[in-house]
Amino acid sequence: MKFTIGITTFSKRFNYVETLIGQIRSFVDYPIILIINGEKDGTTDDNYLKNILNLCQKYPQIYPTTFLETRGLSKMWNTIVVQSFYDNIMILNDDIEIKSNHVFDASDQIFNNPNFQGICKINSSFSHFLVDKKVIESLNYFDERLLGFGEEDE
């Protein structure tokens, strides 16, 4: 079963996201929704955006969305859910490494498990987790009042 992979990132992390996408593509060809957060000062780094677009063209099925202003993780996660091609979604922060296909095989098993309740943290962390689009929609999405970063891992 295919699922959508959503990744959140921002301009200071190009090397992280470039590495992560390369790792993902070495194992699966699932669609990737790449959410690029804006800068606090509202400026745009044109060189970074050029590099991101080149990265997206290097691999198939990568769909970038850019926010011009800083958004909280909940807003970025909700955008991934709305744009997802499939009901099953793996959401990743850009600062993780995927060194084997095990995470994709395990995710597939979780999504196919009749006891899956719609949200599953991987390694007890919200830096990478699985969601069912229909469940998130029924809950009226993630609370976008959560504006901080890092607190989602608690």
Question: Do 2 and 86 form a contact (C-beta atoms < 8 A)?
Answer: yes
Model pTM?
A: 0.91
pLDDT of residue 128: 85
pLDDT value at 154 more than 60: no
Question: 68 versus 20: which is more confidently predicted?
Answer: 20
CA angle 39, 97, 118 (to 5 degrees): 80
Quote the tokens at residue 14.
């190009």
pLDDT of residue 150: 52
Percent of the chain with pLDDT over 90: 69
Question: SS3 of 91, please?
Answer: strand
pLDDT value at 29 more than 50: yes
pLDDT value at 147 more than 70: no
pLDDT value at 14 more than 90: yes
CB-side neighbour CA atoms (13 Å) of 28: 22
pLDDT value at 152 more than 50: no
- Residue 53's alpha-carbon distances to 11, 41, 49, 68, in angstroms, are 12, 22, 6, 15
Question: 123 versus 33: which is more confidently predicted?
Answer: 33
DSSP symbols for 95-144 = T----STHHHHHHHHHHH-TT--SEEEETTEEEEEEEEHHHHHHTTSS-T
Average pLDDT over residues 7-14: 91
Residues 38-77 have pLDDT tens digits of 887 777 788 999 999 999 999 999 999 999 888 888 999 9
pLDDT of residue 134: 96
